[in-house]
C-alpha cells in the first residue's frame, strides 16, 4: 500500500556500512524504486516520520541506537506504526528469523545483499499495490 499510488514505492534504507548502502540504493533505484538513506537509527526515525516510506530496510547493528530499538520507536509512533520494516542483518544464526519476527519486524533479509534477489524480495514485502 503506497502513500501515493502514482509514485513508485519509497524505500528507506537505514545502514551504516557505506558499501551496503550504495549497493542497496543502486539496486533499488535501478529497479525503479525511490530511496531515502539514513546512516543512523536516529536519522532513520526522523526521515520515517517526515516521509512515511512504504518500507524500511533496517540494519540491526548501528552506531548509537540499534535497529531493534529503532523498530520499537517506529511502532510506538502512530505516524510510523504501520510502515513495513524489514531487518537487514549480517547475523547468520538459524534462529534469527524467529527472533526478529518476534521483535516485530515484518521480515528479515540476511547480508550480503543479493543484487539479483533484492528487488523481488522488496516487492514481495510491499505486497500488491
Q: Does 42 bind Mn ion (CB under 5 A)?
A: no
Minimum CB–partner distance for residue 107 and Mn ion (Å): 18
In this structure, the number of other CB atoms found within 10 A of the CB of residue 124 comes to 10
- Find the part of the chain contacting Mn ion (CB under 5 A) among 25-33, 55-63, 65-73, 109-117: 55-63
Residue 1 CA to residue 78 CA, distance in Å, equals: 16
Burial of residue 14 (CB within 10 Å: 0-12, 13-18, 19+) is buried
Q: Does 59 bind Mn ion (CB under 5 A)?
A: yes
78-107: contacts with Mn ion (CB under 5 A): none
Between residues 62 and 74, which has the closer beta carbon with respect to Mn ion? 62
Binding site residues, Mn ion, CB under 5 A: 16, 59, 61
Amino acid at each position: 500500500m503506497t502513500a501515493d499510488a502514482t509514485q513508485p514505492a519509497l524505500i528507506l534504507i537505514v545502514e551504516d556500512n557505506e558499501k551496503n548502502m550504495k549497493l542497496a540504493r543502486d539496486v533499488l533505484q535501478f529497479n525503479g524504486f525511490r530511496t531515502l538513506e539514513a546512516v543512523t537509527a536516529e536519522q532513520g526515525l526522523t526521515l520515517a516520520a517526515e516521509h512515511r516510506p512504504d518500507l524500511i530496510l533496517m540494519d540491526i547493528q548501528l552506531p548509537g541506537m540499534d535497529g531493534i530499538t529503532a523498530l520499537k520507536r517506529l511502532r510506538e509512533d502512530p505516524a510510523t506504526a504501520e510502515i513495513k520494516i524489514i531487518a537487514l542483518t549480517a547475523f547468520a544464526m538459524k534462529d534469527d528469523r524467529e527472533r526478529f519476527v518476534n521483535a516485530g519486524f515484518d521480515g528479515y533479509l540476511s547480508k550480503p545483499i543479493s543484487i539479483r534477489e533484492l528487488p523481488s524480495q522488496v516487492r514481495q514485502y510491499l505486497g500488491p499495490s
